[in-house]
């Protein structure tokens, strides 16, 4: 069984790095699905680093749908995937959304082989191989959406006592070799990887055949234009870096979320002031909830209810962070950057083509109890006119300084 070593080629943060641990502190193997119908170690790494602000990809291993296994981190790396259990767990992620898809035979085989190999290497009993949702605090998370009883039974097959069976043989092989500069006429796996990535970004590189032909060069040029870098059709260091970190719009988010982030030490540090806030029964109450409500312009009753959760989701959507309605470390950080009850007066708001968009529009819509889509359209204008009529000020459907002051007492 070959495992592709991608430890040095995946996207990673230039400023943050994961903590390390002794291998002996590892007690669990965590099984995840990606909750995306497709994906790869490369795509997840970009998502975790660029969207979630993590030091690197959250998983130690990723198993593709065709059964190929990528090694992403040394086992000593305390990456983020199971929140407070991060410090003693190793994460294996199977690509797929198992709420709607099944895992493939090849994927099942590979995942069993790598799990058995880790159990043997780390001396972990089969009962400590857990699905994400079996970890404390994660009963709500549909991950990996396969029966973990069955999975453990597969691990137990052909002999109950794993320690007496030889560990499966695994070999680590280097990922696609990396030449510094790729140009017309070059061939190889690295060209193929380049073509796959260009294809993923809709740059139309032609057939993915591992040959750097004119179509590939055209696609590189297309990408260089989009990325606003030197346009020469040659794949050099600058293009490599841009291409690695480039996020295509509309990429389906992967199931990892900020709640996977804290480990015991970080959590302990934060717990003095920072609980994770979410909608549970009984509802959470406190000054921290009130603080969040104030920042998001919700009724400040200090109870984390439906309205607060909805406001948190809206906020997360605006900020481009994972939308889970939970105030975890990343949302707290984003909230810290938000002053007061939202945006202050920025500009005259009126119906224009195209419609004005922004947080100021959202704030107006919220104040007027409208659907908050952030677009200043006819419906918003009508509501503004009604408001102005009720306030006995000039009725023009335009939010200027006076209307803004009346709306927000600012």
Binding residues for Zn ion, rule: CB under 5 A, are 32, 132, 143
Question: Least separation, in Å, of the C-beta of 133 and Zn ion?
Answer: 8
Whichever of 147 and 371 has its CB closer to Zn ion, that residue is 147
Question: Least separation, in Å, of the C-beta of 148 and Zn ion?
Answer: 12
Whichever of 92 and 349 has its CB closer to Zn ion, that residue is 92
Whichever of 99 and 357 has its CB closer to Zn ion, that residue is 99
Question: Least separation, in Å, of the C-beta of 93 and Zn ion?
Answer: 7
Whichever of 111 and 293 has its CB closer to Zn ion, that residue is 111
Question: Least separation, in Å, of the C-beta of 78 and Zn ion?
Answer: 16
Whichever of 32 and 366 has its CB closer to Zn ion, that residue is 32
364, 386 contact by CB (below 8 A): no
Question: Least separation, in Å, of the C-beta of 33 and Zn ion?
Answer: 7
Question: Least separation, in Å, of the C-beta of 137 and Zn ion?
Answer: 12
Whichever of 32 and 60 has its CB closer to Zn ion, that residue is 32
């Amino acid at each position: 069984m070959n495992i592709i070593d991608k430890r040095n080629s995946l996207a990673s943060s230039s400023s943050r790095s994961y903590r390390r641990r002794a291998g002996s502190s590892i007690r669990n193997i965590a099984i995840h699905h990606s909750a995306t119908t497709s994906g790869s170690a490369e795509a997840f790494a970009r998502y975790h680093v660029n969207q979630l602000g993590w030091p690197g990809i959250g998983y130690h291993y990723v198993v593709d749908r065709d059964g190929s296994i990528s090694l992403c981190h040394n086992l000593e790396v305390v990456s983020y995937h199971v929140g407070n259990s991060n410090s003693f767990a190793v994460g294996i992620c199977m690509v797929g959304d198992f709420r709607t898809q099944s895992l493939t035979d090849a994927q099942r085989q590979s995942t069993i082989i790598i799990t058995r190999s880790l159990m043997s290497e780390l001396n972990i009993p089969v009962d400590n191989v857990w699905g994400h949702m079996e970890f404390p605090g994660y009963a709500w998370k549909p991950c990996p959406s396969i029966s973990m009883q069955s999975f453990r039974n597969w691990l137990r097959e052909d002999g109950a006592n794993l320690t007496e069976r030889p560990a499966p043989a695994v070999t680590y092989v280097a990922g696609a070799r990396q030449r510094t500069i790729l140009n017309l006429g070059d061939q190889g796996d690295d060209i193929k990887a380049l073509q796959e990535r260009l294809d993923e970004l809709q740059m139309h590189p032609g057939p993915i055949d591992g040959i750097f032909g004119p179509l590939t060069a055209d696609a590189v040029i297309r990408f260089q234009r989009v990325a606003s870098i030197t346009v020469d059709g040659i794949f050099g260091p600058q293009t490599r870096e841009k291409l690695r970190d480039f996020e295509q719009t509309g990429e389906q988010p992967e199931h990892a979320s900020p709640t996977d982030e804290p480990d015991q030490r970080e959590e302990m540090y934060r717990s003095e002031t920072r609980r994770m806030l979410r909608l549970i029964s009984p509802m959470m109450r406190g000054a921290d909830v009130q603080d969040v409500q104030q920042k998001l312009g919700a009724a400040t009753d200090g109870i984390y209810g439906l309205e607060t959760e909805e406001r948190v989701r809206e906020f997360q959507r605006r900020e481009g962070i994972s939308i889970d309605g939970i105030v975890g470390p990343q949302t707290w950080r984003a909230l810290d950057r938000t002053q007061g009850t939202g945006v202050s007066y920025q500009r005259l708001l009126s119906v224009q083509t195209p419609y004005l968009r922004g947080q100021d529009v959202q704030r107006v819509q919220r104040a007027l109890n409208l659907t908050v889509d952030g677009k200043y359209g006819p419906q918003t204008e009508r509501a503004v006119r009604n408001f102005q009529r009720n306030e006995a000020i000039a009725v023009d459907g335009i939010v200027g300084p006076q209307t803004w002051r009346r709306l927000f007492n600012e």
